[in-house]
Amino acid sequence: MGHLFTVIFYQPIFNLLIGLYNVIPGRDMGIAIIVLTIIIKFVFLPLSKKAIESQKELQDLQPKIEELKKQYAGKKEEMGRAMLKLYQEHKVNPFSSCLPILVQLPFLIAVYRVFSNGLANKSMELLYPFVQRPETIQVVSLGFLDLSKPNWVLAVLAGLAQFWQTKMMLSKRPAVKGPGTGDEDMAAIMNKQMMYMMPALTVFIGISLPGGLTLYWFITTVLTALQQIFIFSKIKSKKQSASPVIEGQVVNKE
């Protein structure tokens, strides 16, 4: 199984990284990692697009989900049927956002191994015959950034990017006051905690990883956030165009 993982996942990514390193002027590993990140992100663009759309749809349904929880409190079977009906009406699969992540997981593990081992002049025997073997791998990018060692600046940048992406994903809903709003308040508290805990976890893990992997993490998160902005704007435009126009005023559909 380990050999199969190496041949299918690790070796192609390692060869692509070294190939980019060979052709980039100045042989800057940092630039090679950025280009590699963009290529990987482009390859998985359809999957990440589907995951973002599914997460957004689930977030938009949260108010209705909370209403069902209050309406069918203590009635699990009825609530389950009502939830299933809600998902069917809005054509939302609650598990569709997880599948793209699971598909990408082996590649993420391979990237981790590449940046953990490949930057230390190891695994050169895994290079394809048509990929030139560099005499040495310069792991210092831009003359000062050592990508083979942990870098707290990159870890903090990755955490800030994670905060930006998470905050953007969480739906903003007006606070509802009154009886029976305890669940909604609790959900809002959990969302707020996640918005801060995820970036904190990113920084905590990032300061122990090689700088090359943290740089990959940072660039990937920024690209994902930019993709979210694009997708959200398209969803908003689509909803606005679907609303009927009556006497010059846009009427939102319930």
List residues bridging with 146 in a β-sheet.
140
In-domain check, residue 254: no
Burial 149-167, CB ≥16 within 10 A → b, else e:
eebeebbbbbbbbbbbbbb
What are the C-alpha distances in Å from 217 to residues 69, 156, 203?
A: 37, 11, 11
In-domain check, residue 147: yes
In-domain check, residue 250: no
Q: Give the pTM.
A: 0.75
Confidence check: pLDDT of 52 > 50: yes
Q: Tell me how many domains the chain contains.
A: 1
User: Tens of pLDDT along 128-148?
Assistant: 889 888 877 788 888 788 888
Residue 246, judged by CB atoms within 10 A of its CB (0-12, 13-18, 19+), counts as: exposed
In-domain check, residue 219: yes
- Residue 180 three-state SS: coil
Distance CA 118, CA 143 (A): 19
What residue numbers bound the domain in which 147 lies? 2-239
What are the C-alpha distances in Å from 148 to residues 2, 33, 35, 122, 184?
A: 24, 12, 18, 12, 45
Confidence check: pLDDT of 40 > 70: yes
In-domain check, residue 32: yes
In-domain check, residue 249: no
In-domain check, residue 247: no
User: Tens of pLDDT along 156-187?
Assistant: 999 999 998 888 777 544 444 444 444 445 55
In-domain check, residue 103: yes
Q: What pLDDT is stored for residue 119 in this prediction? A: 58
| Mean pLDDT of the 32-51 span | 87
List residues bridging with 250 in a β-sheet.
245
